[in-house]
Each structure stands twice: as C-alpha cells, then as structure tokens.
C-alpha cells in the first residue's frame, strides 16, 4: 500500500510543476490555493494569491458580473472545458489586462465544494493571431491593390491598343487613298491620251472644214453641222474632265454638299434640255411624271449630275428613244428612272457595273472611261438613296434611283 503522505507530496509536486495555472476557489470566492504557474501568470509572489477573492484576477469593469456568474455557477456546477468558444480577460497584479483561457471543475475538499480553475495565458497566442490577421489583411489589401493596378494597366493598355489600332487604320486608309489617287492619276493620263484623241481630232477636222466652206453653196448648213460636232466633242471632253474632277474630289473627301429643296421635275427637265444637243438623229428624250410632284432635300448639283450621267449613258448606248421618269406614287420613296432600248449589258458584266473604270465588253467601240456609274453610285449613297438596274442584252437598260421621302 502506498503511503498517503507520499501520495500527497507527489500530487503537490505535480500540482506545482503543472504549466497551467491552477487556482482552487472556495464557494465564497476566496482563493484557497494557487500553484506556482498561477502566481507567475498573474504576477504575484508565491502564496500571495491565497486568501484573496478571485475577483482580484478579473478586470474591474467585469468584477460585479463575475460575482453573479460565480454564484450561479455554484448553484449548478458542471465541468466547463478550456476554450469553449470564449475569450476571457484577466488582470495581472500590475493591472495589465490579458486574455486567458479557463476551464472549470468542481471538487469537494474537506466536505466543502471548491471550484478549480485551470488558467492558460494566451496573450502570446493572441499576439501571434493578431499579427497573422494583420498580415492576412495586409495581404488581402495588397492583392486588391494589385488587382486594381492590373485592371487599371489593362484598361490603359486596351485604350492604347485602340488608339494604336485607330492610328494604324487611319494610316492604312490614308495610304490606300493615296494609292488610289495615284492610280486614278495614272489612269487619267492613259485614258485622257486615248479618249481625248477622237473629240480633239473631230474638233480639228470640223474647224478646218468650217474654214473651207466659206464661199461654197449650202455652206451655212454644213458649217452648222460641224459646229454641232465641235460642241458635242467639247461636251464629251468636258464630261470626261468632270468625271475625273468629281472622282478625285470624292476620293479626297473634298466634295461640299449644299443641301436645299430640289424640285425634281425642274431638275429633270433642265437635264433633258441640256442633253438635247448630244442626242442622236431620230432619238428623243421623253419625260413622264407619275403622282403628285414633291421636292426633296438634296444638293441640286449632285441630283443633276446623277441624271446627266445616266441619261447621257442611255443616249450613248442606244439609238432609240429614252424615257426619263419620276414616280411620286410609291409609299416611302421617290424614284427617278432612266430607260433605254439599246445594247444592254451582258449578264456576266452586270456585277461589275459600278466598279471604277469598268466597261462592259460590248461597249469597247463606244467612247467612255468607266467612271460615270461609280461616281453616280457614290453620289446617290451620299444623299441617302439607292441605285438599281435591270438590263437585257440587245433589249435595253433601266436605271432606278430611289430616295426616301422626307
């Protein structure tokens, strides 16, 4: 059998060696005994705690509440585990408050119930936890700042990319325009040298013949015929030059549009009048207007240019009568149509008709530059309209230019 007093001293040694503070408290709240660790934790000298109330170890502001808690606990004491989800505050002799973890147990000593409190000073752990939390917060802050910076930089880069792409596109367009203008100029030189030859030689021969007809009989009639030839050649030359000028203005974006109210009936009649000098013998331009005439908002010069181009083509590519019509009866649009019964356009060529310098294969023997329709399409679109055509080889061609009403 073991000697009780040796057991007691063994327990005492274990009790003193324990790293947790152990405080044994009477029902009245007086500390009966506290081990070495408890004294160290709370900053008291050996045995100094004994005889003091446990509230000495509680921060002043919590003491009253603690008395209530302690008394309630004694009514129904049950073990309470360490931690148990609560951070408690204790106070050292130096009045410094610090966090502790406490577990409670009840034991009967000499017939009296005592509460045994096991205390761990968790201030170091809390400090580490706080430092960890702080660095975690710092990390989160850095991460969000980094994210923000990355987002800002990405946005900046995206903007820069857009600017660069825009500049690149502009440079490409400028280069393309430059190339097209150069091409236009060189095409002009070759077309001019070819297309100018016929009207210029007509002018030359007609004017020298006029000189010869001076005294002959019937000279006046012949003279007038040659004057007509000269006029038509000059108008031909004029047409070619105008096409080049319009195209280079369009290409360079230098075309000024003066919008005003345009009376389409008057505009068509003026064009028919102007072109009467170049119609072929036996050819007539007939005008027809369907519905109640309305004016449109457009540039009158451009409208006339469109009608001149299409009507002079109809004259050029046919021998029979030409019909210029206006249709105001459609619901949403106004239509200008120019119809001829001439050579028509081969089906294969039709898809290229509005391309610059394009000439159909059956038009080789007719003078032309292949610019007129390209310009007309650009003009029509500039005014918000549309152009369509129907053509059958050797039967004739119809052009329909439409503008929205209002």
What residue ranges bind ligand ADP (CB under 6 A)? 313-314, 317, 340, 342-345, 353, 358-360, 363, 368-374, 397
Could you give the residue ranges of the DSSP H alpha helices within 83-122? none
Q: Which is nearer to ligand ADP, 373 or 383 (CB)?
A: 373
Which among 282, 367, 243, 276 is positioned nearest to 317, based on CA atoms? 367
Name the burial class of residue 391, with classes exposed (0-12), middle (13-18) and buried (19+) by CB atoms within 10 angstroms of its CB: buried
For residue 283, report the phi and psi dihedrals to the nearest 5 degrees: -95, 145
CB of 361 to ligand ADP, least distance (A): 8
Residue 326 beta carbon to ligand ADP: minimum distance, rounded to whole angstroms: 18
- How far, in Å, CA of 330 to CA of 312, rounded? 26
User: In the bound complex, what is the minimum distance in angstroms from residue 195's beta carbon to ligand ADP?
Assistant: 9
The smaller minimum CB distance to ligand ADP, of residues 296 and 303, is found at: 303
State in angstroms the smallest separation of the CB of 217 from ligand ADP.
40
Tell me the residue number closest to ligand ADP, measured at CB.
Answer: 368
DSSP H/E element including 239: helix 219-252
Structure tokens at 169: 């596109």
**Pick 137 or 394: Cβ nearer ligand ADP:** 394
**What span, in angstroms and rounded, lies between the C-alpha atoms of 100 and 88?**
5
21 or 370: whose CB is closer to ligand ADP?
370
- Tell me the C-alpha distance between 310 and 243, whole Å: 13
Q: Which is nearer to ligand ADP, 35 or 374 (CB)?
A: 374
73, 123 contact by CB (below 8 A): no
Q: In what order do the strands lie in the sheet with 322-327?
A: 285-290, 322-327, 333-340, 396-404, 386-392
Minimal distance, residue 338 CB to ligand ADP, in Å = 8
Tell me how far, at minimum, the Cβ of 354 lies from ligand ADP, in Å. 8
Least spacing, CB of residue 344 vs ligand ADP, in Å: 6
Smallest gap from Cβ 370 to ligand ADP, in A, equals 4
Closer of 57 and 376 to ligand ADP (Cβ):
376
Euclidean distance between CA atoms 261 and 130, whole angstroms: 81
322, 312 contact by CB (below 8 A): no
Centroid of chain to Cα 134: 42
Give the residue with the Cβ less far from ligand ADP, 368 or 385. Answer: 368
d(CA 103, CA 82) in angstroms, rounded, equals: 4
**End-to-end Cα spacing for the chain:** 121
Question: What does the block give as tokens for 240?
Answer: 């070619």
Which residue lies nearer to ligand ADP by CB, 190 or 406?
Answer: 190
């Amino acid at each position: 059998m073991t000697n009780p007093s040796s057991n007691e001293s063994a327990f005492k040694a274990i009790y003193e060696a324990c790293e947790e503070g152990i405080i044994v408290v009477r029902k009245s709240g007086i500390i009966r005994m506290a081990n070495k660790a408890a004294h160290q934790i709370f900053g008291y000298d050996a045995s100094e705690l004994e005889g003091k109330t446990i509230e000495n170890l509680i921060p002043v502001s919590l003491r009253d509440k603690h008395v209530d808690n302690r008394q309630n606990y004694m009514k129904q004491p049950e073990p309470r585990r360490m931690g148990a989800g609560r951070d408690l505050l204790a106070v050292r002799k130096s009045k410094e408050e610090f966090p502790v973890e406490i577990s409670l147990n009840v034991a009967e000593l000499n017939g009296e119930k005592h509460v045994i409190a096991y205390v761990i000073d968790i201030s170091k752990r809390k400090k580490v936890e706080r430092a960890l939390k702080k660095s975690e917060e710092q990390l989160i802050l850095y991460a969000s700042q980094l994210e923000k910076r990355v987002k800002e930089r990405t946005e900046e880069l995206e903007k820069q990319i857009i600017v660069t792409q825009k500049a690149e596109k502009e440079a490409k367009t400028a280069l393309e325009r430059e190339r097209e203008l150069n091409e236009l100029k060189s095409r002009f030189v070759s077309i001019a040298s070819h297309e100018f030859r016929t009207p210029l030689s007509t002018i030359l021969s007609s004017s020298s013949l006029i000189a010869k007809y001076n005294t002959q009989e019937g000279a006046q009639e012949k003279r007038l015929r040659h004057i007509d030839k000269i006029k038509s050649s000059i108008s031909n030359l004029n047409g070619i030059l105008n096409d080049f000028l319009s195209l280079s203005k369009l290409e360079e974006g230098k075309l000024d549009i003066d919008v005003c109210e345009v009376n389409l009936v008057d505009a068509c009649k003026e064009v028919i009048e102007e072109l009467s000098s170049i119609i072929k013998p036996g050819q007539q331009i007939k005008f027809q207007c369907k519905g109640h005439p309305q004016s449109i908002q457009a540039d009158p010069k451009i409208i006339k240019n469109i009608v001149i181009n299409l009507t002079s083509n109809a004259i050029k590519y046919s021998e029979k009568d030409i019909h210029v019509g206006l249709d105001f009866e459609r619901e949403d649009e106004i239509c200008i149509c120019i119809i001829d019964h001439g050579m028509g356009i081969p089906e294969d060529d039709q898809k290229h008709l509005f391309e610059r310098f394009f000439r159909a294969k059956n038009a080789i023997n007719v003078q032309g530059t292949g610019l007129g329709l390209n310009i007309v399409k650009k003009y029509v679109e500039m005014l918000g309209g549309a152009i369509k055509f129907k053509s059958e080889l050797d039967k004739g061609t119809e052009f329909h230019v439409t503008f929205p009403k209002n």
